[in-house]
């Protein structure tokens, strides 16, 4: 039975095998997870994952064992048997397995303090709002939602319920991206002039490859995904251009292209090249594509450059750690590499979110307002694309 209540393939970031096999391959035994979660339960907040697709299986669950402030306390799934398997593997009670229909009953479950929404894009708003109404703090996957109106509704619901709302922009804690930001915003490179940012992956090839039947298909539905590749990996270049410069764009231009219309239906662009223009003249040239695998993160100023590069083996500039293993990255400043720690990004993010909750903070480092900003930028890019690349103002 599929975990998605809309009966679609909801495997998020499903590049590797999932479930118990992935955890065992990473050396994370269920008993170890249980011990980590059992330790100091009063100091750990209970997390419920909403949606048990590939992203939850491969990236979220294996890293909870590394958390000091979070333990897995429940799940929300459309597959009862899958929920039971998770309960057995991760050591939480079976009455903490919720369905999409009875999800609202989570309000009376004191074991659960926060939820992580790991569903297809179009479902983020509904379940984030329901979670907030249930009095639970909310971490939502990127993109925050498929429209700025939905983002506004999510923010309003969280404020009304007095709960924290965060967006999973995990790279704000990733050491290579953090140091790059510190160097670039510290003035050492002068007035930053240009940046080149790309996050592309070979979805087109995957859709025709030997494992095509296992590939997530909801990304091909514009109603569920919100659009094409811009709503998928395209948010990362937008994020990078903003946090690496400490600025926000004032105008955008967008140029879509689809080379394989037999694979990508109308409303799901295969490639989006886009330009972000900033008030001080900084220009970010960005691209997201399903046609090839290529990552770039280069920021330039009159006194040099800062690059984030894939590490070895199998690293990615923007990629998420998976199966309990870091995703290696490299930082190169003026052609000199700086050695930094590789981290489990999801575990670090969840610990930071839990600490913000414990400290009764009223906002989070990557709040709903940031997610709203990015969706407004996305909407501006699509508006420009519909006008043959005409510049669209964001102010």
Per-residue pLDDT of 94-140, as tens digits, reads: 999 999 999 999 999 999 999 999 999 999 999 999 999 999 999 99
Mean pLDDT of 144-164: 98
Q: Which residue is associated with the tokens 């992580």?
A: 116
- For residue 349, the model assigns a pLDDT of 98
**Helices (H) and strands (E) in the chain — how many of each?**
14, 15
User: Among residues 236, 184, 205, which one has the least CA distance to residue 345?
Assistant: 236
Task: Provide the β-strand partners of residue 194.
Answer: 283, 300
**Surface-to-core class of residue 27, CB atoms within 10 Å of its CB (0-12 exposed, 13-18 middle, 19+ buried):** exposed
Q: How confident is the model at residue 212 (pLDDT cuts 50, 70, 90)?
A: confident
Please, what are the domains in the chain?
A: 19-169 (3.40.50.720), 171-343+366-393 (3.30.360.10)
DSSP structural state of residue 367: B
User: Among residues 295, 287, 340, 355, which one has the least CA distance to residue 320?
Assistant: 295
Q: Quick one: tokens of 229? A: 């590749």
Cβ atoms 87, 48 nearer than 8 A: no
Is residue 100 part of the annotated active site? The answer reads no
Is residue 236 part of the annotated active site? The answer reads yes
- For residue 216, the model assigns a pLDDT of 83
Catalytic residue from among 82, 136, 142, 216: 142
Can you give the three-state secondary structure of 315-338, one letter per residue? CCCCCCCECCECCCEEEEECCEEE
Instruction: Please give the Cα distance from 349 to 169 (Å, whole number).
Output: 8
- For residue 292, the model assigns a pLDDT of 96
**Surface-to-core class of residue 393, CB atoms within 10 Å of its CB (0-12 exposed, 13-18 middle, 19+ buried):** exposed
User: Among residues 349, 346, 342, 309, which one has the least CA distance to residue 326?
Assistant: 342
Residue 39 pLDDT > 80, yes or no?
Answer: no
Cβ atoms 47, 57 nearer than 8 A: no
Query: What is this structure's pTM?
Result: 0.89
Whether omega for the bond prior to residue 143 falls within 30 degrees of 0, making it cis, is: yes
User: Pairing between strand 336-338 and 70-76?
Assistant: unpaired
Q: Say whether 27 sits in a helix, a strand or coil.
A: coil
Residue 36 pLDDT > 90, yes or no?
Answer: no
List the end-to-end C-alpha distance of the chain, in Å, as a whole number: 46
Residue 75 pLDDT > 60, yes or no?
Answer: yes
372-392 pLDDT per residue, tens: 999 999 999 999 999 999 999
Catalytic residue from among 98, 127, 197, 236: 236
Q: How confident is the model at residue 9 (pLDDT cuts 50, 70, 90)?
A: very low
- Residue 299: CB atoms within 10 A of its CB come to 26
Q: How confident is the model at residue 16 (pLDDT cuts 50, 70, 90)?
A: very low
């Amino acid at each position: 039975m599929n975990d998605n209540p809309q009966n679609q393939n909801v495997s998020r970031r499903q590049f590797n095998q999932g479930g118990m096999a992935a955890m065992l391959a990473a050396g994370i035994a269920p008993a170890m997870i249980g011990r980590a979660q059992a330790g100091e339960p009063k100091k750990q907040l209970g997390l419920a994952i909403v949606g048990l697709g590939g992203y939850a299986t491969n990236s979220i669950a294996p890293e909870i064992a590394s958390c000091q402030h979070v333990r897995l306390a429940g799940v929300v799934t459309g597959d009862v048997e899958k929920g039971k398997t998770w309960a057995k593997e991760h050591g939480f009670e079976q009455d903490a397995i919720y369905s999409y229909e009875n999800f609202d009953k989570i309000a009376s479950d004191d074991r659960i303090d926060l939820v992580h929404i790991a569903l297809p894009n179009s479902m983020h708003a509904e379940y984030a709002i329901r979670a907030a109404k249930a009095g639970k703090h909310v971490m939502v996957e990127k993109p925050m939602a498929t429209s700025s109106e939905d983002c506004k509704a999510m923010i309003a619901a969280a404020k009304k319920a007095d709960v924290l709302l965060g967006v999973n922009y995990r790279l704000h804690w990733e050491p290579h991206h953090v140091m790059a930001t510190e160097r670039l915003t510290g003035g050492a490179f002068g007035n930053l002039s240009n940046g080149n940012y790309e996050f592309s992956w070979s979805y087109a090839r995957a859709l025709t490859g030997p494992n095509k039947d296992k590939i997530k298909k909801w990304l091909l539905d514009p109603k569920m995904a919100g659009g094409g590749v811009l709503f998928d990996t395209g948010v990362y270049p937008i994020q990078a251009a903003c946090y690496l410069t400490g600025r926000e764009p004032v105008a955008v231009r967008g140029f879509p292209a689809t080379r394989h219309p037999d694979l990508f239906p109308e409303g799901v662009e295969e490639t989006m090249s886009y330009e972000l223009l900033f008030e001080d003249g900084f220009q970010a040239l960005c691209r997201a594509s399903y046609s090839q695998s290529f990552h770039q993160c280069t920021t330039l100023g009159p006194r040099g450059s800062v690059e984030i590069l894939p590490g070895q083996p199998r690293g990615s500039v923007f990629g998420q750690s998976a199966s309990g293993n870091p995703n290696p990255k490299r930082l190169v400043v003026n052609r000199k590499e700086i050695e930094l720690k590789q981290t489990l990004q999801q575990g670090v993010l969840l610990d930071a979110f839990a600490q913000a909750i414990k400290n009764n903070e009223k906002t989070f480092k990557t709040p709903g307002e940031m997610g709203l900003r990015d969706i407004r930028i996305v909407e501006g890019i699509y508006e420009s694309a519909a006008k043959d690349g005409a510049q669209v103002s964001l102010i």
